[in-house]
Amino acid sequence: MKKLKIYNTLTKKIEEINPLKDKQITLYTCGPTVYDYTHLGHIRTYINNDILKRTLEYLGYKVIHTMNITDVGHLTDDADSGEDKLEKGAKKHKKTVWEVAQYFTDYFFYTIDEVNIKKPNIICKATEHIQQMINLIKKLEEKGYTYETSQAVYFNVTKFKNYGKLSGQSLKDKLTAVREEVVLDPEKKHPADFALWFKRTGRFANHTMHWNSPWGDGFPGWHIECSAMSMHYLGETIDIHTGGEDHIPVHHENEIAQSESATGKLFVRYWLHNAFLLIEGEKMSKSKQNFYTIDDIKAKGFSPLALRLHFLSGHYRQQFNFTFKALQATENSFKSLQKKIEELKFLNKYLRLEKPKEKNYRLAKEFEQKFIDCLTEDLNTPQALAEFWRFIAREDIHPLVKLKQILKLDQILGLKLDTIKTVNITAELKKLIREREELKKKRNFQKADEIRNIINQKGFELKDTKQGTVVLSKN
């Protein structure tokens, strides 16, 4: 079995993935905080995760993929300060927190479906797993990793000796980074300590979402949900955990601290992080109003699958600078790819072709190997695509072999090339094509062109190939 190699943020090395259980991979992805529209940055990160999953499936693994939906507890600042994002979203969109969560959860699933991202096997909402979180906090409390103030229950980071192992940041560095925190809760011992449970008091006295707990009425902190749900669905140690690179220094560091303190076991074996997306050279920000959604992309006339192809042209560990100009170029290549598939389907369906020679299968297999080698080397999608385009452009591969091979690898690329339909040839159309061919044989090109025009007017295009005349839809 061929192995996938990826860059593991934990070890800072490219490593071969060897799962805990043979042929099975447990994968956890930090899901969206559902207080606003899913934007291009999210889409890019989740497309890359989808390629990871599809590559593993191609290699023969059964992937058990879990994703959370953060519908409570995520403050505007990852390190416990600021407003609750859901409450903020509710105000902005004039909905209740519950409505806002449902609305943007739906929008998230609509978006990922548009770009053909496979739905995770297990999708879990934070609000539906409060008990699992409480149990985990209790376990940490029993083991002496927590302390309580009048505002919250905190994880004491100084008790976890490996704190900072993911980001490589020492507690001293953290101290300067999060100093402001002390002001919000004067009883907090270390500024990097993070809340496991917020009490419904002080700045959160009117918090809408709240539950009973051993520490009183309140709501969970953001980080605890991923540890609790990951362990609940996938076990105490999982194979791969993914997220955007913004999660490394706080969220994932905290996930590690609380999980490993509770179980005494390694939480995640391979950490994979996606680099951020820039829009026209700029960071996404409110002032720039550049949080484009999939509907913005569609409204500008681009297809969601062209966007998918576009994102695959960059490596997941490199920042991607999104521009509409470059998307337009990909949209054009995507259209010609779709036309090529239509042509190949036509050739195979309507024209009598010779049987493919053995050499064709060998060439196709060689291409498949090269394509997969690019992906197994730290998911190098730009190089895999370069191989893909090269294979498509080859004139010496039999249409049947070519089509089959492309569709097989599209199981990984996810461009839905299998859904492209070839035209339906009516008896009338067949007659016209035959007439035109006869005229061409007689070198009566003027008349032949007249027939071509008639066919064009009926909404079709003709393409003369070495295997014969191909009819394509005109769009």
Q: Which parts of this chain interact with Zn ion (CB under 5 A)?
A: 30, 226
By a kind-dependent CB cut-off of 5 to 8 A, residue 231 interacts, out of ligand AMP, Zn ion, none, with none
Q: How many Å apart are CA 195 and CA 156, to the nearest integer?
A: 9
How many C-beta atoms lie closer than 10 Å to residue 218's C-beta? 23
Q: Which residues bind ligand AMP (CB under 6 A)?
A: 30, 32-33, 41-42, 44-45, 243-244, 246-247, 274, 276-277, 284
Minimum distance from residue 42 beta carbon to ligand AMP (Å) = 4
How many C-beta atoms lie closer than 10 Å to residue 199's C-beta? 22
Q: How many Å apart are CA 328 and CA 34, to the nearest integer?
A: 30
Minimum distance from residue 296 beta carbon to Zn ion (Å) = 27
- Contact status, residue 31 vs residue 68, Cβ threshold 8 Å: yes
Residue among 71 and 181 whose Cβ is closer to ligand AMP: 71
By a kind-dependent CB cut-off of 5 to 8 A, residue 398 interacts, out of Zn ion, ligand AMP, none, with none
Residue among 338 and 381 whose Cβ is closer to ligand AMP: 381
* Structure tokens belonging to residue 83: 């407003």
Residue among 228 and 306 whose Cβ is closer to Zn ion: 228
* DSSP code for 202: G
Q: What one-letter code names the amino acid at 200?
A: R
By a kind-dependent CB cut-off of 5 to 8 A, residue 45 interacts, out of Zn ion, ligand AMP, none, with ligand AMP
By a kind-dependent CB cut-off of 5 to 8 A, residue 44 interacts, out of ligand AMP, Zn ion, none, with ligand AMP
- Contact status, residue 80 vs residue 347, Cβ threshold 8 Å: no
CA dihedral defined by 455, 457, 460, 465, rounded to 10 degrees? 50
Write down the residue that tokens 């025009």 correspond to: 453
Minimum distance from residue 223 beta carbon to Zn ion (Å) = 7
Relative to beta strand 152-155, strand 194-199 is antiparallel
CA-derived radius of gyration, the chain: 27
- Contact status, residue 208 vs residue 97, Cβ threshold 8 Å: yes
Minimum distance from residue 119 beta carbon to Zn ion (Å) = 18
Q: How many Å apart are CA 320 and CA 307, to the nearest integer?
A: 13
In degrees and rounded to multiples of 5, residue 407 shows phi and psi of: -65, -35
By a kind-dependent CB cut-off of 5 to 8 A, residue 33 interacts, out of Zn ion, ligand AMP, none, with ligand AMP
Minimum distance from residue 112 beta carbon to ligand AMP (Å) = 11
Residue among 98 and 276 whose Cβ is closer to ligand AMP: 276
Residue among 148 and 246 whose Cβ is closer to ligand AMP: 246
Write out the H or E segment, with its range, that includes residue 288. none
Minimum distance from residue 297 beta carbon to ligand AMP (Å) = 15
List, in order, residues 6 or more apart from 215 with CB less than 8 Å away. Answer: 137, 148, 153, 197, 199
* Structure tokens belonging to residue 422: 């070839």
When CB distances to ligand AMP are compared, the closest residue is: 244
Minimum distance from residue 243 beta carbon to ligand AMP (Å) = 4
Residue among 88 and 199 whose Cβ is closer to ligand AMP: 88
Query: Taking every pair of C-alpha atoms in the chain, what is the biggest distance, in angstroms?
Result: 95
In degrees and rounded to multiples of 5, residue 65 shows phi and psi of: -110, 125
Report the interhelical angle of 399-413 vs 324-350 (nearest 10°): 140
Minimum distance from residue 98 beta carbon to ligand AMP (Å) = 18
Minimum distance from residue 211 beta carbon to ligand AMP (Å) = 21
DSSP characters for 229-255? HHHHHH-SSEEEEEEEGGGIIIIIHHH
By a kind-dependent CB cut-off of 5 to 8 A, residue 314 interacts, out of Zn ion, ligand AMP, none, with none
Residue among 274 and 376 whose Cβ is closer to ligand AMP: 274
Residue among 226 and 406 whose Cβ is closer to Zn ion: 226
Minimum distance from residue 227 beta carbon to ligand AMP (Å) = 16
Q: How many Å apart are CA 161 and CA 298, to the nearest integer?
A: 49
List helix spans (H) across 143-222. 171-177, 181-184
Residue among 279 and 472 whose Cβ is closer to ligand AMP: 279
By a kind-dependent CB cut-off of 5 to 8 A, residue 226 interacts, out of Zn ion, ligand AMP, none, with Zn ion
By a kind-dependent CB cut-off of 5 to 8 A, residue 284 interacts, out of Zn ion, ligand AMP, none, with ligand AMP
Residue among 49 and 338 whose Cβ is closer to ligand AMP: 49
Minimum distance from residue 195 beta carbon to ligand AMP (Å) = 17
Write down the residue that tokens 């051993």 correspond to: 214
By a kind-dependent CB cut-off of 5 to 8 A, residue 211 interacts, out of Zn ion, ligand AMP, none, with none
Residue among 315 and 408 whose Cβ is closer to ligand AMP: 315
